Amino acid sequence: MPALPHGDPAPPNGRLPRANLDAAHGRPFGFYVHVPFCQTRCGYCDFNTYTAAELGSGVSRGSYADTVLQEIRLASEVLGDGDAIGDRIPPVSTIFFGGGTPTLLPAEHLGLIIREIREQFGLAADVEITTEANPETVTPAYFTRLREAGFTRVSIGMQSAVPHVLEVLDRQHSPGRPETAVAEARAAGFEHVNLDLIYGAPYETDADWQTSLDAAIAAQPDHVSAYALIVEEGTALARQVAQGVLPAPDDDVSADRYVMADETLQAAGFSWYEVSNWATSAAARCRHNELYWSDASWWGAGPGAHSHIGGVRWWNVKHPVRYTAMLESARSPAAARETLDEQARFTERIMLGVRMRAGLSVAELPPASQRLVPQLATWGLIEHADTAPDRVVLTQRGRLMADAVVRELLA
């Protein structure tokens, strides 16, 4: 993951201003749990994750869950703020385990974390509990244990069905394995299964991408996320591109691939609900991610994890050793925080809202931005929603230009 943002200092006890706690009142609440371990490091990945070799002896996978439990208890103190927690925060509606590779931990350890969240905060009746899974780390038995631990959804990192693309991306699984994993998850009782795909990798062709899309659809997930490969600073991929060993992804090619994905997925019964996400039905959408885009509250536990409560965003220290040490000494692992002012909240509302199928309500835009709507429509970037003409939604071309649209609307 890239360097943490700059922010204001966070207090050692992690306490939040009462005003922000009040602002979060009644907003949906979720948990993100970061698991910072990977078997190997993929060349394109800039997430906050570490191989056993990189981590050395400072932090063990075996005791990681215990450390997270401490942060969950801290969360309960902070959010309860002396009151009964239920008075301030609704039961948890979503939990998402990301990484790293959460499935490197025993399913029982993930279960302990879920249990602690339930004990501290309670779970909503229709709680969505997702874990990311690398196809090579899971087995039918593991999926069964995930179910037993309470998981309702898995997100499998497929990335590509083409061997030379997987190789460029340093992915360890063999082609075909992700599709099998989907079947195994289904067999274990998972109704919701996502496949993650990456397009625009060096040397990937249009035909390769079509192969990957077709393979993903054939595996019958109910959700697909497709991301353009981004050359992130500080990654092995960035070095290889800088040295000319690998060609840099081309924006026009990425645009073509996005269009291919959108057309192919639509034809297969998926519809987009966010720029990079497609689902077969409203129920198949990832409600946890929708939380991020709709100004809801969540607590991110684990090193480098970000949280948002009522207009305060904060982020934990990045390194697992430091993270563990802080919690061991009964301190909040927060590295810094920022309190959003009106302007920042507005920027975020536009920036996040515009990415979603529901789009933006024209009436909620300031007059100056409203005046730009016809121009953006002329450029073919936005259109009025069929079902709600008072809202504007990105067109397919507009989804590819979402950041430009945001800049126009904010200017």
Partner 1 sequence: MTAQQIPAGHTDPARIRNFCIIAHIDHGKSTLADRMLQATGVVDGRQMRAQYLDRMDIERERGITIKAQSIRMPWTSRETGVEHVLHMIDTPGHVDFTYEVSRSLAACEGAVLLVDAAQGIEAQTLANLYLALENDLQIIPVLNKIDLPAAQPDLYAAELAHIIGCDPDDVLRVSAKTGEGVEDLLDVICRDIPAPVGAADAPPRAMIFDSVYDIYRGVITYIRVIDGHFTPRERIKMMSTGATHELLEIGVISPEPKPTQGLGVGEVGYLITGVKDVRQSRVGDTVTDAAKPAKKSLGGYRDPKPMVYSGLYPLDGSDYPLLRDALDRLQLNDAALVYEPETSAALGFGFRCGFLGLLHLEITRDRLEREFDLDLISTAPNVVYRVVLEDGTERIVTNPSDWPTGMKIAETYEPIVKAMIIAPSEYIGAIMELCQERRGALGGMDYLSPTRVELRYTLPLAEIIFDFFDQLKSRTRGYASLDYELSGEQLSDLVKVDILLQGEPVDAFSAIVHKDKAYAYGTSMTAKLRKLIPRQQFEVPIQAAIGSRVIARENISAMRKDVLAKCYGGDITRKRKLLEKQKEGKKRMKMVGRVEVPQEAFIAALSTGDSAEAVKK
- Is 140 or 380 the residue whose CB approaches partner 1 more closely? 380
Q: How far is CA 398 from CA 171, 405, 407, in A?
A: 31, 7, 13
Shortest distance, position 32 Cβ to partner 1, whole Å:
6
- Is 154 or 291 the residue whose CB approaches partner 1 more closely? 291
Shortest distance, position 335 Cβ to partner 1, whole Å:
12
User: What distance in Å separates the CA atoms of residue 61 and residue 100, rounded to the nearest whole number?
Assistant: 12
**Category of 42 on φ-ψ map: left (φ > 0), alpha (ψ -120 to 50) or beta:** beta
Shortest distance, position 348 Cβ to partner 1, whole Å:
6
Give the DSSP letter of residue 324: H
CB 97 within 8 A of CB 122: no
CB 134 within 8 A of CB 102: no
* Alpha helical stretches, state H, 189-294: 206-218, 236-242, 251-267, 287-293
Any residues with CB less than 8 A from the CB of 56 and at least 6 apart, and which?
none
CB 139 within 8 A of CB 184: yes
Shortest distance, position 184 Cβ to partner 1, whole Å:
26
- Is 142 or 199 the residue whose CB approaches partner 1 more closely? 199
- Is 25 or 407 the residue whose CB approaches partner 1 more closely? 407
- Is 68 or 188 the residue whose CB approaches partner 1 more closely? 68
Shortest distance, position 313 Cβ to partner 1, whole Å:
5
Shortest distance, position 63 Cβ to partner 1, whole Å:
24
User: What distance in Å separates the CA atoms of residue 363 and residue 307, rounded to the nearest whole number?
Assistant: 29
Binding site for partner 1 (CB under 8 A): 1-2, 5, 7, 32, 227-228, 230, 251-252, 254-255, 258, 275-276, 289, 292-293, 298, 300, 304-308, 313, 315, 338, 344, 347-348, 351-352, 355, 379, 381, 397, 399-404, 406-407, 410-411
- Is 129 or 228 the residue whose CB approaches partner 1 more closely? 228
